Amino acid sequence: MKITKSEIKILLGIGILILLIDILLMKYWISTIKPDPFMSIGVESYRPHIFGVNILIGIIVFFFKKRLSILFFVNSIVCYLIFSFLWNSWIENHPYSSTEYSFQIEDRKFILGIDKNPDHFGIDEIVSESKDSLITIGMHEKVGDSLKLTSMQEKMYFYNNKLIGFSINPTQIELNKIE
């Protein structure tokens, strides 16, 4: 039951192929999840899937090719670590950033906050020099050269430092960027 050099080379080649396929699949999976810095704890919910799938494949292969099944058992540990690396790499390459704009309607002051990764926005009313009242929150998406701001209550557009379609004043509202 001794392993020959040619069998070792074949097992090594298959192992590298399995690892490359896993890396491509994990990279694609992470790009569809699009993790943001606030869900870094969420990586823990995905790791057992990777571990479990490799163990399950290893058990199935064990009944056909015992030596080949060892690759999947080892791969379950390696993929666990690679997934963590790819997850953190995504977050580093897609950093969180936030920009705030102030505007006024009659004697009321508001702040529009636009976040990137995740693509959220929020409008707060300023009462007594603090963000006291949340008016609306939602998601934004790029549409042409503007941002479409969509919440449960309304749909607005942000273009060239102007807010269009805000329910309190649906005409164009001039925004001032807060540094």
155 and 81 in a single domain? The answer is: no
Rounded Cα distance between 177 and 170, Å, is: 20
Q: Is the pLDDT of residue 107 over 80?
A: yes
Burial class (CB in 10 A: 0-12, 13-18, 19+), 54: buried
Please provide the average confidence, as pLDDT, over all residues in the chain: 85
The larger pLDDT score, comparing residue 67 to residue 141, is at: 141
The pLDDT of 21-39, averaged and rounded, is: 84
Q: Average pLDDT for residues 32-37, to the nearest whole number?
A: 79
pLDDT value of residue 5: 87
Average pLDDT over residues 64-69: 84
Do 79 and 127 share a domain, yes or no? Answer: no
101 with 84, same domain? Answer: no
Q: Quick check: 126 pLDDT over 90?
A: no
Whether residues 79 and 119 fall in one domain? no
Say whether both 130 and 101 belong to one domain.
yes
Q: Are residues 73 and 146 in the same domain?
A: no
What is the rounded distance in angstroms from the CA atom of residue 100 to the CA atom of residue 79? 40
Measured distance CA(15)–CA(147) in Å, rounded: 46
Q: Are residues 11 and 70 in the same domain?
A: yes
If one counts the domains in the chain, the total is 2
Q: How far apart are CA 73 and CA 69, in angstroms?
A: 7
Lowest mean per-residue pLDDT among 8-17, 30-39, 71-80, 100-109: 30-39
Judge if the upstream peptide bond of residue 118 is cis by omega within 30 degrees of 0.
yes
Q: Which of 41, 70, 93 corresponds to the end of one domain?
A: 93
Pick from 84, 96, 11: nearest CA to 51: 84
Which residue, of 59, 93, 127, is where some domain finishes?
Answer: 93
| Global pTM value | 0.64
Range list of H helices, the chain: 5-33, 43-62, 66-93
> Does residue 26 sit in the same domain as residue 104?
no
The residue out of 77, 93, 109 marking a domain boundary is: 93
The answer on 86 and 55 residing in a single domain is yes
Alpha-carbon dihedral angle through residues 34, 38, 166, 136, given to the nearest 10 degrees: 130
Mean pLDDT of 89-102: 86
Domain containing residue 84: 5-93
Residue 62 has pLDDT above 80, yes or no: yes
